[in-house]
Amino acid sequence: MWDYMHNYHGGWGMGWGWFGFPLMLFFWGALIFGIIMLVRYLIAGQSGTTSTKIDPIAILKERYARGEISYEEYEERKRNLEK
């Protein structure tokens, strides 16, 4: 009976003996780990764009370039921001 069960190729290891179960655990663990890391990477990529530091001088330059503020107003606000 013992010999029959250990030669059976339809069990956990599918003919790999004692190595089959640890390899199966490693495979599923690596797969789950990979999925978790992929999800974390995708979430970090989406939220990383909103957490960048805003440069007020760059915004002021853009507003001046678009013609929203005059040169005098630009210079005044720039001096105030650099204080």
- The closest of 63, 53, 60 to 80, measured between CA atoms, is 60
pLDDT in tens, 15-33: 667 778 888 999 999 999 9
Answer yes or no: is 7 within a domain: no
Answer yes or no: is 69 within a domain: yes
pTM exceeds cut of 0.75: no
pLDDT tier for residue 72 given thresholds of 50, 70 and 90: very high
Domain that holds residue 51: 24-82
What pLDDT shows up at residue 3? 53
Answer yes or no: is 14 within a domain: no
**Domain total for the chain?**
1
Answer yes or no: is 31 within a domain: yes
Answer yes or no: is 28 within a domain: yes
DSSP string, 7-74: T-TTSSSTT-GGGHHHHHHHHHHHHHHHHHHHHHHHHHHHHHTTSSPP-HHHHHHHHHHTTSS-HHHH
Report the range of poorest mean pLDDT among 5-14, 37-46, 74-83. Answer: 5-14
